[in-house]
Amino acid sequence: MTSVAERAAQVRERIDAACRAADRDPGSVRLMAVTKTHGLDVLEEAYGAGLRLFGENRVPEAAEKAEQLADRPGLAWALIGHLQTNKVARALRFTTELHTLDSLKLAEALDRRLQEQGRGLDVFVQVNTSGEEAKTGLAPDAVEAFALDLRPFSALRVRGLMTLAVYSDDEAAVAACFTRLTDLQQRLRQLDAAPGSWDELSMGMSGDFELAIAHGATTVRVGQTLFGARPPVT
């Protein structure tokens, strides 16, 4: 059986190759290991393989893992699932990045708590580039106004945009989702009043991260290719 370390090395090689093909510096793309539903043994193996940024969907599961791995130097946690406002306090105990900001209600709840703690949080605005009703995130045409509305929330460090492309074998359809995000990024950079640099794009997963890199991804979120099929949620 292939180890997590071997799979991680293979993924990094693919990231490097995709960067070279796109004339990009391989150091400009971060690998996030999506560890949701996997047990501590898998996470320990991932950490031993040099992976340091772990992505989780559910606050209770992530909080428990973060507590048990709190003594691991350099380990960072990103929330990549929808965050409810009633879970903000618990989420802020461990998370260093939120990739799913999509409402002013959540922005206000985060900022209020962060101001009380005297610190900030890196956030990505989630965009529904596929238009699928089952997916969360802002419609692309709503993001510019949302960005301007984020100005009062000074504890939120807006780093960029996040999306989930359509799940399809049609490469053109997947690429269209990434193109919508990069086009939106360019428009946001021209909004002088908007917070953040908008320099980063969190997009691309196991099945499409190389295509995402070709379209400018700076963080790719990889789970199945690193760890195999996820165990069922209990």
Write down the domain spans for the chain.
4-227
Say what the pLDDT of residue 160 is. 95
What are φ and ψ of residue 162, in 5° steps?
A: -130, 145
Identify the pLDDT of residue 2: 85
Do 198 and 186 meet the contact criterion of CB atoms below 8 Å apart?
no
Q: pLDDT value at position 170? A: 96
Q: At what angle do helices 40-48 and 59-68 cross, to 10 degrees?
A: 60
pLDDT at 234: 53
Q: Show the low-confidence residues of the chain (pLDDT under 50).
A: none
- The CATH-assigned architecture of domain 4-227 is Alpha-Beta Barrel (3.20)
What average pLDDT is seen over the chain?
95
Tokens of 205: 């997963």
**CA distance linking residue 170 with residue 147, whole number of Å:** 31
91 HSE (CA, 13 A, CB side): 28
The per-residue pLDDT for 141 is 96
pLDDT tens-place string over residues 24-35: 999 999 999 999
Integer Cα distance of 129 and 177 in angstroms: 5
